[in-house]
Amino acid sequence: MIIDLHCHTNMSDGALTPNQLIDLAVKRGVGMLSITDHDTLDAYAHISAVPSNIRLIPGIELSSRWRKQGVHIVGLNIDLSNEAMASAVTQQSDVRLQRAHEISNRLGRLGFDNCLEGAQRFAQNQIGRPHFAEHLIEVGAVKNANEAFKKYLGAGKAGDIKEHWPAIDTVVQWIRRAGGIAVLAHPSKYKMTRTKLTELLNDFSIAGGEAMEVVSGLQVPSVTRDLAGLCKKFNLLASCGSDFHAPDKKWAALGMTSNLPDTCNPVWDHWA
């Protein structure tokens, strides 16, 4: 079975509507899918129908903070009607809007006017840095999103604001209260030293985190093997996902992830 437990729609920073994403999953032969939009569950209310050959696992990707770094935690198999999760989503939405105002103000000091209004034109729902990137492209400040993040929005740049996100233990507990499994998203993308990543995984496990993404998008086998080893070391369940955002991003193609190593304990084996 093709399994993809991390992807995004236009309810956060993806390009496709929820129904378009489901259609693409069918074409790709995905048998188990989780839509994990950033800090919102709205995609699930916009799905017209789920084909019988796809098992849809309710999910979300929540922004959090570990020490001074932003870290994403995926919640899988959550109860969409859970009041604690609804409250968490409201809180995250408020933080996102506050963060967007700050990003706009910082970009304004660099000479870019009306960035919040420009970014909001591209955001269907939750506003994020990719929407600011699209605005900067539109006004001719940069050629593409990579340049936007490299100059203005990426780590250590003006638009990199993470201090308002809740701590990882808070986010993990939100997910657990909603009946879900907390998964550390794309560990290799944080560009941490192995020592620092080990410390993160230790704190994540102590907080009640139960799984990590061993495979995220197109990934070299050596990275997968290393993450599988860490997964086993901390006795975590293993997950996999493309982190799909748009059809033109081949490194994060929906359903196109490698299999988990045999040493892994798949997260989907532990759902009722």
Residues in the chain: 272
| Mean pLDDT to the nearest integer, 16-37 | 97
Is residue 36 a part of any domain in this protein? yes
Is residue 159 a part of any domain in this protein? no
Is residue 158 a part of any domain in this protein? no
Does one domain contain both 30 and 112? no
Alpha helices in 155-220 (DSSP H): 168-177, 194-206
Does one domain contain both 188 and 250? yes
169 pairs with which residues across the strands? Answer: none
Helix 115-122 vs helix 129-138: angle between axes, to the nearest 10 degrees?
110
| Long-range contacts (CB closer than 8 Å, 24 or more residues apart) made by 89-97 | 89/39, 89/40, 89/41, 89/60, 91/166, 92/39, 92/40, 92/62, 92/63, 93/39, 93/40, 93/126, 95/63, 95/164, 95/165, 95/166, 96/39, 96/63, 96/126, 96/127, 96/128, 97/127
Beta carbons within 10 angstroms of residue 250's beta carbon: 9
| Mean pLDDT to the nearest integer, 4-25 | 96
* CA–CA gap between residue 98 and residue 116 (Å, rounded): 11
CATH number at residue 144: 1.10.150.650
Does one domain contain both 173 and 74? yes
Give the pLDDT of residue 152. Answer: 95
Between 164 and 44, the more confident residue is 44
Is residue 250 a part of any domain in this protein? yes
Give the pLDDT of residue 162. Answer: 80
**Cβ atoms of 63 and 72 closer than 8 Å:** yes
Does one domain contain both 106 and 65? no
Is residue 6 a part of any domain in this protein? yes
Instruction: Report the share of the chain in percent with pLDDT over 90.
Output: 88
Summary mean pLDDT of the chain: 94
Does one domain contain both 231 and 104? no
Does one domain contain both 82 and 173? yes
CATH number at residue 232: 3.20.20.140
Does one domain contain both 247 and 121? no
At 24, list the tokens: 């693409």
Give 98-130 as a DSSP string. HHHHHHHHHHHHTT--SHHHHHHHH-SSS--HH
Query: How many domains are contained in the chain?
Result: 2
Does one domain contain both 179 and 229? yes
**Cβ atoms of 181 and 77 closer than 8 Å:** yes
Give the pLDDT of residue 155. Answer: 84
Least Cα distance to 239 among 213, 201, 204, 268 occurs for 213
* pLDDT band with cut points at 50, 70 and 90 for residue 164: confident
Residue-range definition of the domain harbouring residue 111 = 97-153
* CA–CA gap between residue 196 and residue 249 (Å, rounded): 29
Report whether pLDDT(9) > 80.
yes
Q: Which of 115, 130, 153 is the last residue of a domain?
A: 153
Alpha helices in the chain (DSSP H): 18-28, 83-109, 115-122, 129-138, 145-148, 168-177, 194-206, 221-233
pLDDT digits (tens, 9 = 90+) for 61-88: 999 999 989 999 999 999 999 999 999 9
Does one domain contain both 248 and 179? yes
Is residue 161 a part of any domain in this protein? no
Is residue 209 a part of any domain in this protein? yes
At 179, the amino acid letter reads G
Does one domain contain both 28 and 56? yes
At 39, list the tokens: 């800090």
Distances (CA, A) of 195 to 11, 66, 137, 145, 230: 35, 14, 37, 31, 11
pLDDT digits (tens, 9 = 90+) for 203-244: 999 999 999 999 999 999 999 999 999 999 999 999 999 999
Give the pLDDT of residue 50. Answer: 94
| Mean pLDDT to the nearest integer, 192-202 | 96
pLDDT digits (tens, 9 = 90+) for 117-156: 999 989 888 888 999 999 999 999 999 999 999 999 988 8
Is residue 217 a part of any domain in this protein? yes
At 32, list the tokens: 């188990």
Beta carbons within 10 angstroms of residue 78's beta carbon: 25
Give the pLDDT of residue 94. Answer: 92
Report whether pLDDT(272) > 70.
no
| Mean pLDDT to the nearest integer, 45-58 | 96
Does one domain contain both 63 and 144? no
Does one domain contain both 133 and 205? no
| Mean pLDDT to the nearest integer, 46-57 | 96
